[in-house]
């Protein structure tokens, strides 16, 4: 009887005396009752916790195995989640922060489960993750700040967006300040990365425009940035020539050589 109790206790020890690897959004080792820090996530955003299901030691026979599912076992009020697919490799659980979440620190509980139970890796493993919700998960710059171009010609601004948070996201770029111009672009930016895109503004009337170029997260309109720029639209011939270098919206292919020559000559004009 004593031997049976010892063997059972030893098997239970093997089943929980090992660590699992969290692959994303941070790299960490977890075990029963441990905690990790996810980092910053914006309201409305969805982040993924990715875990390597395989362990090389422990379990009923001490030879390891693989967990079958990762899911959230406890969430703050209003948060939602989607468990990983069964038997996936790696295991990925998705957690969504509500759009009206207040800035602050939150704790979620995650569980790793093996359907074989005591005949496999034993009881489920539960660990916690701390998440900081903040609106400050992106930066944006625009260059140049001022452009002069001809009527109907595109003014091209270079926009750089940094996704500082731990959630991948799609950002929508647009502008206000030029009547009837509602052009928008979307760009996917993984977490902790920066991307650059070109955004065009076209004014049909001769005027000085105060333009606000903005970018917003598709997850929440509470995550965004706005940069004021200026656009001067001229209708004189010199401005039209210089505008050709920045491209035209549409012209017949037969006139392409003419546009090329005009754009080349404009480089030598003051």
Domain assignment present for residue 119? The answer is: yes
Q: Is 270 among the domain residues?
A: no
From 133, 168, 190, give the residue that closes a domain: 133
Domain assignment present for residue 13? The answer is: yes
Q: What angle do CA 110, 73, 99 make, to 5 degrees?
A: 90
- What local confidence, expressed as pLDDT, does residue 15 receive? 41
Question: Is residue 110 domain-shared with residue 178, that is, in the same domain?
Answer: no
Please give the mean pLDDT across all residues of the chain. 86
Do 165 and 237 have their domain in common? yes
Does residue 10 register a pLDDT over 60? no
Specify the DSSP class assigned to residue 15. Answer: H
Nearby residues of 255 by Cβ (< 8 Å), 6 or more positions away: none
Question: Residue 253: pLDDT band by 50, 70, 90 thresholds?
Answer: low
Task: Give the domain-ending residue among 89, 105, 133.
Answer: 133
Query: What's the pLDDT at 250?
Result: 46
Share of the chain above pLDDT 90, in %: 71
- Whole-number pLDDT of residue 192: 97
The answer to whether residues 6 and 122 belong to one domain is: yes
Q: Which of 104, 133, 162 is the last residue of a domain?
A: 133
173 within a domain of the structure (yes/no) = yes
Query: By residue range, what is the domain housing residue 38?
Result: 2-133
Residue 16: pLDDT above 80? Answer: no
Look at 51-60, 125-134, 206-215 and tell me which has the smallest mean pLDDT: 51-60
Q: Do residues 185 and 100 share a domain? A: no
CATH code of the domain containing 83: 2.60.40.10
Contact of 35 with 130, CB cutoff 8 Å: yes
Domain count, the chain: 2
Q: Do 213 and 118 fall within a single domain?
A: no
- Per the model's pLDDT, the better-predicted residue between 101 and 121 turns out to be 101
Q: Which of 119-123, 137-141, 229-233, 248-252 has the lowest mean pLDDT?
A: 248-252
Tally of CA atoms within 13 A in the half-sphere of 96 that contains its CB: 11
pLDDT band for position 161 (cuts 50, 70, 90): very high
């Amino acid at each position: 009887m004593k031997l049976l109790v010892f063997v059972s206790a030893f098997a239970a020890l093997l089943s929980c005396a090992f660590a699992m690897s969290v692959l994303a959004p941070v790299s960490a080792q977890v075990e029963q009752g441990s905690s990790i820090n996810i980092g910053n996530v914006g309201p409305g955003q969805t982040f993924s916790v990715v875990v390597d299901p395989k362990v090389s030691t422990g379990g009923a026979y001490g030879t390891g195995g693989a967990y079958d599912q990762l899911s959230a076992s406890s969430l703050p009020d209003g948060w939602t989640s989607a468990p990983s697919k069964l038997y996936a490799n790696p295991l990925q659980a998705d957690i969504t922060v509500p759009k009206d979440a207040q800035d602050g620190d939150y704790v979620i509980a995650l569980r790793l489960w093996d359907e074989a139970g005591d005949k496999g890796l034993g009881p489920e493993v539960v660990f916690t993750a701390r998440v900081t919700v903040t609106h400050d998960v992106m930066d944006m710059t625009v260059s140049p700040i001022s452009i002069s171009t001809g009527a109907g010609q595109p003014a091209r601004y270079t926009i750089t967006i940094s996704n500082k948070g731990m959630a991948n996201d799609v950002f929508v770029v647009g502008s206000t300040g030029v009547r009837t111009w509602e052009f928008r672009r979307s760009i996917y930016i993984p977490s902790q990365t920066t991307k650059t895109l070109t955004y065009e503004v076209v004014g049909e009337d001769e005027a000085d425009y105060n333009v606000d170029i903005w970018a917003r997260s598709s997850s929440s309109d509470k995550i965004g940035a706005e940069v004021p720029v200026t656009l001067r639209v001229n209708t004189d011939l010199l401005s039209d020539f210089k505008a050709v270098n920045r491209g035209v919206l549409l012209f017949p292919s037969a006139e392409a050589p003419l546009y090329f020559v005009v754009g080349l000559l404009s480089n030598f004009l003051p």
